[in-house]
Amino acid sequence: MQAENRYEAGPLADLLEKLEHSAPELRTVADWPGEQFQWLAEAGVLGWVIPREYGGEELSQAEVIQGYLELATVCMTTTFVLTQRNGACQRIAGSEDEQLKAELLPQLARGEIFATVGISHLTTSRQHLKRPVVEAELRDDVIELNGAVPWVTGAPAADFVVTGGTTEDGRQVLIALPMDLDGVQVKPPAELMALNASQTASIDLSGVRAPRRFLLAGPIEGVMQRGQGGGAGSVTTSSLAAGLSLRSIRSLETEARLRADLEDVVRPLRQELDELRQDIAAASARDADGDDPRLAAPAIRRRANSLVLRATQAHLAATKGAGFVAGHPAERAVREAMFFLVWSCPQPVLQAALREFACLGVE
Ligand SMILES: Cc1cc2nc3c(=O)[nH]c(=O)nc-3n(C[C@H](O)[C@H](O)[C@H](O)COP(=O)(O)OP(=O)(O)OC[C@H]3O[C@@H](n4cnc5c(N)ncnc54)[C@H](O)[C@@H]3O)c2cc1C
């Protein structure tokens, strides 16, 4: 079995403890995890994905993903917001514009500015619509954007949103959009089933003229398929599901010490989790997907989604009515688990979940 926790002492252990204690307080759209981000900055976490030359720690992908897993075990809201912020940092770091990187990345590493992503309309969201939801027009020195970015976690707190639009000829641009430009309007954050404190909102763009120096990539077809930052359904998303599964399975194991009837149920869940964690570690240690189909990102995400739904519901069932009361860790875990059905969920993963619900077996 893998070590449960790498951070048994030191600043990261303290961070995990603080995040665990504060997690139940992150309930409403008013509870933005600003203090939690301060703790992340103090523990060096905000430098994880930022290159050393810009003041970051530049951890390997495997280390970052292991870190996400441990953070998600204690606080899903903070960890989820961190992944969106890190996605933005990775896209900025992946650009070829040295000047823009030197301007933004050191401030991001120190936690002085906040960036996030609004990219789902380029990958998983609104794909069935004929007209792109954000239209981009390239002029000499500006990119004009019109439309609405449907999902942006942490939008009200953002100084920059990495987002994109589609040009008339079907190519896409990716841009680090400064939020103080004329025509950018953040809508009030949506009331969600869980993760309300992530302050996820849509952003209206009306005749926004962004200086071209904020362009990160494009115009090109499929701009999100290039560069770093974890695509839809990446192993990053699975590591969060595994972290949440671990939280519920640990609670079940504690309960099972007093109730022998739970032992038969907890054992296979734990075994499944340990195998999933091993495969997440193996997949994230490699550059590409390689040949092993078990280690392909969508295959891992399918398993992670299935496990997190079952583990959290087992947690709720075992805690009975007490677990159904608002504020109990089990009900929170069940609500948070539902997020994986909709977050960054590519069609094959969604299809697999629907087939599992209909008992149709894996294709
Ligand atoms: C809490 C939360 C936070 C998020 N944060 C971010 C973020 O920070 N950055 C980011 O980029 N993304 C983010 N996302 C987006 C996420 O990753 C997915 O892209 C999103 O959940 C997809 O849902 P959608 O409603 O936009 O999908 P859509 O595919 O647009 O579906 C919308 C509706 O359209 C209809 N529909 C769907 N498919 C079809 C079809 N083929 N034909 C006809 N009708 C159809 C359905 O009724 C559906 O309800 C977030 C999502 C959530 C829920």
The CA 2 to ligand 1 mean position distance, Å, reads: 35
| Tens digit of each residue's pLDDT, the chain (363 residues) | 455 666 666 678 999 999 999 999 999 999 999 999 999 999 999 999 999 999 999 999 999 999 999 999 999 999 999 999 999 999 999 999 999 999 999 999 999 999 999 999 987 677 777 788 999 999 989 999 999 999 999 999 999 999 999 999 999 999 999 999 999 999 999 999 999 999 999 999 999 999 999 999 989 998 887 765 556 778 999 999 999 999 999 999 999 999 999 999 999 999 999 999 999 999 998 755 567 888 999 999 999 999 999 999 999 999 999 999 999 999 999 999 999 999 988 889 999 999 999 999 776
The CA 211 to ligand 1 mean position distance, Å, reads: 29
Q: Which of 85, 117, 128, 341 to mutate to test the pocket of ligand 1 (most atoms within 8 A of CB)?
A: 128
- Terminal Cα distance for the chain, rounded: 30
Domains of the chain: 11-109 (1.10.540.10), 115-225 (2.40.110.10), 235-357 (1.20.140.10)
The CA 225 to ligand 1 mean position distance, Å, reads: 18
Return d(Cα 275, Cα 318) in angstroms, integer: 23
Q: Which residue lies with its CA nearest to atom 52 of ligand 1?
A: 343
CA proximity to 89, closest of 55, 66, 121, 63: 55
The CA 84 to ligand 1 mean position distance, Å, reads: 16
Q: Which residue lies with its CA nearest to atom 36 of ligand 1?
A: 128
The CA 191 to ligand 1 mean position distance, Å, reads: 15
| Dihedral (CA of 22, 27, 28, 32) sign | positive
Ligand 1: nearest atom to the Cα of 119: 11
